[in-house]
Amino acid sequence: MASSTPVYVATPVHASAPAPALAPAPIPAPLVEPPKAADGPGAFVRQVVDYASRQTPGTVIIDTKNTFLYFVLNDTQALRYGIGVGREGFAWSGEQTVARKAEWPDWRPPAEMVSRQPYLPRFMAGGPGNPLGARAMYLGETEYRIHGTNKPDTIGKRVSSGCIRLTNEDVEDLYERVKVGAKVIVLPGTAARRPSQGAPPDAAFRSPDPASPSNRPSVANAQMLSSGPKIAEAQ
């Protein structure tokens, strides 16, 4: 005889499938910085470039407009450096020679500069804090120099009163290459052109007869292109 006691049957409990394990977050790859240029963006890194010139190897050509200095290697190549040049009113062009060279030069601001900036020191010994930087090459009998700088961020800019500046690393390299007596050609800022733009950049300074009186270098060749005072400024 069947029991009248109700029988309760429990609903089977189905175990839920375990949640899929979360994939571990990817570990970010370490940042890899691209090689940095020496104290300047890519275009101003010291490098050998194609450069058509009939100047004697060892000649220095300064492209004021494009803020490059070329050290002539041969008829078709030059070593190019990025430079800082004279600001508006202090640009000049012409031909000079390297009269002397100095390592970690002292700085004596010219009287004209002191009159404009009376806070400047009257003398500063050579060293890392000196605005002339690690080396200087003095041009003829002028106040102009090719020198280093303790402000590498000014390369590629027009900031000086006529002097040409390079990073300390570059000016040390150039210093070892340039000889006393080397020719320095400063192209006009309004007419300078890159090597790929037709005639070689130094074409305007080629002389069919270098011995001709009209072609002989003189201090007058280094003329200001404006009425600005002819002085050297390192700041």
pLDDT digits (tens, 9 = 90+) for 129-187: 888 999 999 999 998 999 999 899 999 998 887 899 999 999 999 999 999 999 999 99
Q: Which long-range contacts (CB under 8 A, 24 or more apart) does 127-133 make?
A: 130/104, 130/105, 130/106, 131/107, 131/234, 131/235, 132/105, 132/106, 132/107, 132/234, 133/165, 133/166, 133/168, 133/171
pLDDT of residue 12: 56
Asked if residue 18 has pLDDT above 70, the reply is no
14 is a catalytic site residue: no
Q: Which single residue is written with the structure tokens 């050290």?
A: 71
Respond yes or no: is residue 147 known to be catalytic: yes
**Average per-residue pLDDT for the chain:** 73
From 147, 155, 164, 232, the catalytic residue: 147
SS3 177: helix
Domain 42-188 fold is L,D-transpeptidase catalytic domain-like (2.40.440)
| pLDDT value of residue 19 | 59
Most confident of 120-134, 169-183, 200-214: 169-183
Query: What are the residue boundaries of the structural domains of the chain, listed by start?
Result: 42-188
